[in-house]
Structure 1
Amino acid sequence: MKYLILLLIPVFSFQAKAQLDRKAIYSALASDSKEVVQKQLDGIQSVKESSEVKAFKGALQMKAAQFQKTAKDKLNLFNAGKKILESEIKSNDGNAEYRFLRLLIQENAPKQLKYSGNIDDDVITIVAGYSKLKESTKTALESYAKKSSALKGLL
């Protein structure tokens, strides 16, 4: 029994140290594949919860909403993700990465959701905080800026 416990400790330690794969998450947010988005949403469940994990989870839920079958399910999932992301932005107002996540969603959300009121503020925060972002986030941001009407020519 003692040996079994010793064998299991590394397994649990590895699971607790799982980290966000920003590159894969940003690829999923840019994807039109339900499976790709769901894979990232499922994978983020194994990462220890933090403000950062919550922000990505909220953004992924909002993206996943487009793949729901009914309008009610789409709206419910979108609003659940929005609540999570907005809460993290409120708690971390100057976080450029969270603002980038919201900008990604705002620029691509259907107009009827009326989720576009923070684009200008988000752009200001993103540009101001660009130099402090992780390299994987900078890469995703630079790629997105090429097709973003709000970021075009700013980076």
Structure 2
Amino acid sequence: MDYPKANLDEAVTNTLHEELLGVTKEDNKTIVAYKGAVSTLKAKFAKGFKNKKTFFKEGAELLEFAISSEPKNIEIRCLRLGVQENSPRIVGYKNNIEADKQFLLDHYKSDANKEIRNFVKGYVLLSNVFTEAEKQLF
């Protein structure tokens, strides 16, 4: 999945959105979280306030559903942190930044999946939420 590139590229966002259209809440919760994150990115590129609001609200709801289903999933928590860190203040979706940041700090080394650790590390190193000292822990 090309999710890290989607933030900067509308075409990648649109492709991912199309690929994830059929995903429902019954599917793998990590995939549901990606659908939510991609929907929030669709809001970034959408035309008109109503479309932006619809995409963002749908995306945030899917992310919250995925986290409520799997609260200890580090990949999902990282996705939400990225969305909250980069969402405009006006949408008011910034409530879990500190909790998700702490979760990543506390659980990064215990995740056995190297691909997920690399994804989390890649995000953390580019994030403005983490201090330089904290980034060294990844």
> What is the TM-score of this pair, normalised by structure 1?
0.75
Letter in 2 for 1:118: N
Tell me if structure 2 keeps the 8 A contact 1:95–1:129. no
> What is the correspondence of 1:52-63 to structure 2 with a 5 Å cutoff?
52-63=30-41
- The reply to whether residue 40 of structure 1 matches residue 19 of structure 2 is no
Distance 1:53 1:84 in 2: 10
Residues 139/59 of structure 1: CA separation in 2 closer, same or farther (3 Å cut): same
Rg (Cα) greater in structure: 1
- The reply to whether residue 100 of structure 1 matches residue 78 of structure 2 is yes
- Percent identity between matched residues is 27
Offset, 1:133:
5.7
- The residue aligned with 2:4 is 26
Between Structure 1 and Structure 2, how many residues are aligned?
Answer: 131
Distance 1:135 1:84 in 2: 25
Distance 1:144 1:82 in 2: 19
Tell me if structure 2 keeps the 8 A contact 1:95–1:125. no
Distance 2:112 2:91 in 1: 29
The structure that is helix-richer by fraction is 1
For structure 1, which segment, 68-77 or 134-143, has the greater mean C-alpha deviation from structure 2 after superposition? 134-143
Q: What CA RMSD, in Å, does the superposition of the two structures yield over aligned residues?
A: 1.9
Distance 1:82 1:47 in 2: 15
Tell me if structure 1 keeps the 8 A contact 2:33–2:62. yes
Distance 1:61 1:133 in 2: 28
Offset, 1:47:
7.0
In structure 2, runs of 5+ residues without a counterpart are none
In structure 1, runs of 5+ residues without a counterpart are 1-20
Tell me if structure 1 keeps the 8 A contact 2:23–2:32. no
Letter in 2 for 1:56: Y
- The reply to whether residue 151 of structure 1 matches residue 130 of structure 2 is yes
Offset, 1:135:
2.5
> What is the TM-score of this pair, normalised by structure 2?
0.84
